[in-house]
Amino acid sequence: MNTIYEPKGRAKEYADLACNLFAGCDHRCAYCYAPGALFKAVEDFQRPAYRTGLLQALEREAAKRAGDPRHVLLCFSCDPYPHMDATARPVTRCAIQILHENNLYVSILTKGGRRSRRDFDLLGPEDRYGTTLTFYDAMDSRRWEPGAADPRDRIDALGAAKRLGVRTWVSLEPIIDLSQTLQLIETTREYVDEFRVGKFNHMTEDLRTRHPALYQRVAGIDWHYTALKVMEALEKTGVPYKIKKDLRYHLTVQPRLRRGELARV
C-alpha cells in the first residue's frame, strides 16, 4: 500500500510528500479532478471508504522516513475530514499522531471547517493548516460543493488555527469566479501565512454534461486578466504567495483583442 508518497506533476507544486487517508470523498464538489485521475465513477468516489490497513502501513512508512524535514500533506485525492470519519478513533487524528511520533510534520488541506478543529490540539508551530476556498458566496458553495463546510466556517477555522500559532495557508484553486476569489483574499489576509492559487484545469465532457452551468461559467473566464488581477490583489496583502505554473503562464500571454476592444488591464 502506498501511504506516504512523492507527488508528481501539478501536485508537486503544493507538496513534496503526501498521504491520502481515505478512498474517495463525500464533499461532492462538482469540479473535483480526483474521480477522473483515479479512474473511478463519480458516484463511487463520492462514497468514501476507509483504506484497509492504512494506519499500520503508515506506521511502517513513517518509521522509515523519520526525521524527514519535508511536510506530509493530508490530503490530495480526498479530504482529511470527511463526514464519515466520526468514529471513536478518527483516522486523521491517528495519522497525525503517528507522523509526529516519527518527527514528521503535517500540512493539512481541508474543506472540513469545524470538523478539522478537533485536531488543533495536536498541531504545533512546525505544522501547517490549510483550507481550500473556491466561493465566498454560501449559495454558490452549497450548489457546487454541497458536502463541504460553509466558506465562513472554513475561514473561522483558519483564524482559530492562526490564533493557536499554527502556520496557515489558503488554496484558491480552482478559480471559478474572479470577484469571489478577490473577496476571499481580502477577507482572509490577516489569518494567512501563504496563499496558493491555481486555475480551473478540468474542463471535461463529463463536467459539461453533469454541470453545464458551471462549465459555461468557467468557459468564459479570461485567464490573462484573472491572473493579473489576482496577482495584484495578492501583492497588496503583503502575504507570501505562490501562483501555480498553469495560471502563471497566462501572465505572459496577452490575449488577442477583437477590433475596437479595449484592454482591461
Whether 169 has a pLDDT exceeding 60, the answer reads yes
C-alpha cell at 201: 484545469
**Which positions ≥6 away from 239 have C-beta within 8 Å?**
189, 192, 193, 194, 195
Average of per-residue pLDDT across 18-24: 96
pTM exceeding the 0.85 threshold for the entire prediction: yes
> Considering the chain, what is the average pLDDT of its residues?
92
Q: Tens digit of pLDDT for each residue in 23-68?
A: 999 999 999 999 988 899 999 999 999 999 999 999 999 999 999 9
Q: Tens digit of pLDDT for each residue in 222-236?
A: 999 999 999 999 999
CA–CA–CA angle 234, 237, 243 (5° rounding): 25
Query: 118 by DSSP, 3-state: which?
Result: helix
Q: Tens digit of pLDDT for each residue in 176-209?
A: 999 999 999 999 999 999 999 999 988 888 889 9
Q: For residues 17 and 6, what is the distance between their CA atoms, to the nearest angstrom?
A: 5
The confidence score (pLDDT) of residue 182 equals 98
The confidence score (pLDDT) of residue 262 equals 38
The confidence score (pLDDT) of residue 203 equals 86
Question: Contact, 215 vs 203, CB < 8 A?
Answer: yes
The CATH topology of domain 4-252 is: TIM Barrel (3.20.20)
Query: Residue 168 class from Cβ within 10 Å (0-12 exposed, 13-18 middle, 19+ buried)?
Result: buried
β-partners of residue 169 are 130, 194
Residue spans per domain, the chain: 4-252
